[in-house]
Amino acid sequence: MLRRFATVCAIAALMCSPLAAQTAEETARAALEAAPVWDGHNDVPIQLRSRLANEIGDFDFEHTEHTKTGDRNAMHTDLARLRAGHVGAQWWSVYVPASLDEPEAVQMTIEQIDVMKRLIARYPDDMALALRADDVEAAREQGKIAGLLGMEGGHSIGSSLAVLRQMYDLGARYMTLTHSKNTPWADSATDDPEHDGLTDFGKDLVREMNRIGMVVDLSHVSEKTMMDALDVSRAPVIFSHSSARAINGHARNVPDAVLRRLPKNGGIIMVTAVPGFLSEEARVWNARRDAEEARLKALWQGQPEAVVSGMKAWDEANPYPPAHISDMADHIDHVRKIAGIDAIGIGGDFDGIPAGPVGMEDVSTYPALFIELARRGYSQDDLEKISSRNMMRVMRGVEAASAAMADVPPYEYPASGGE
């Protein structure tokens, strides 16, 4: 009797052992099948402009490996690799350079909205334009990739609330408040502070974004701008492509003081695959390279060939320290520790960077990241939140905040704009 009891216990123990548990690969696969990735940032639109001048009639988006040229890598994104990566919804960045004058930036933003809408329309069996959370769900039910449009930088609206509203009507559903430079009403993370965060106009702009139902994106902005926006916003915010500053000190990353505020706001940080934002070694290497280039330009003024030669020699002597999938997972671990699992999303920035981390070279590689997270103990429910459920909650929260402001009239400023 005792021997039989011992045998039963041994079998029960074996069934409950790690050998009988779901593998990391199985956990990741189940999560991505239940909740495909909703990626926060992809720069295909600017690739269409820089490579094709927005003439896409003969462009094959099913496969883009053929886009490699002598001086440019192939694109990171196409329909086949989006499918392989289990991407079910994509924020397409209708980015334009922050160096443009505001009127030119407005026109170019409209052109980028146009080209991405045309690309989506060319593949009706594979993609669908999404303007609301329900559209994302409908696309998924139809087996299509939902495409949403996000403006990267407030210069895209020319300091005009009227233009903001019209961009919304054209289909833009998030706006990053700044890009690499300050706007007349908000400080960027990578420019010298001018406004101590948001001006009064900038705060009203956030309120107007809440009113019309446009997602406030705080990637690229200064810490004070982040804090001001969190003070003002009645809707959840996002960081569409940023990582944790506690691990990598880049100004584009999010400090813990801001991460601690995300749970109360309901917002998320969509951890990015940008190597220089992930690996501290890569960030330092980039700074050293910039310093060497500045030194050579000062030393060899008017002799650009000497600068090119000197930089080639420096690059050969100082190989780039690559980032890895594990670095991205480290940032996710940190965000979870500070802000919780409900504050995490994914924002690759593919086609906006020269290359991704080792093991995450393009949009097909998201399953590898989720396997890494599963190996670290993330449950299927955790992974589903990270992949898309947190972003869906944010989108619905933004829409609910807009509905609650239905009786609020449009915010107004003089037509000259800003302050």
Residues annotated as catalytic are 41, 43, 152, 179, 220, 241, 349
Dist. CA 340–CA 362, nearest whole Å: 27
Tell me how far apart the alpha carbons of residues 16 and 419 are, in angstroms, rounded to a whole number: 65
Question: Residue 169 and residue 176: Cα distance in Å, rounded?
Answer: 17
Q: Which helix H or strand E contains 38, and what residues bound it? A: strand 37-42
Partners of 188 in the β-ladder = 221
* Contact in structure between 325 and 359 (CB atoms under 8 Å): yes
Task: Report the length, in residues, of the chain.
Answer: 419
Cα–Cα distances in Å, from 378 out to 84, 218, 270, 384?
A: 22, 26, 17, 10
Residues 6+ positions from 210 with CB-CB distance below 8 Å: 216, 233, 234, 235, 398, 401, 402, 405
Least Cα distance to 161 among 149, 175, 180 occurs for: 175
* Spatial CB neighbours of 60, under 8 Å, sequence gap ≥ 6: 66
Structure tokens at 246: 């506690």
Distance of CA 306 to the CA centre of its chain: 38
Check: CB of residue 239 under 8 Å from CB of residue 197: no
DSSP type of residue 90: E
Residue with tokens 């920035």: 349
159 and 102 Cβ atoms separated by less than 8 Å: yes
Q: Going by C-beta distance under 8 Å and a sequence separation of 6 or more, which residues neighbour residue 216?
A: 174, 175, 177, 206, 209, 210, 229, 233, 235, 237, 238
Q: CA 4 from chain center: how many Å?
A: 58
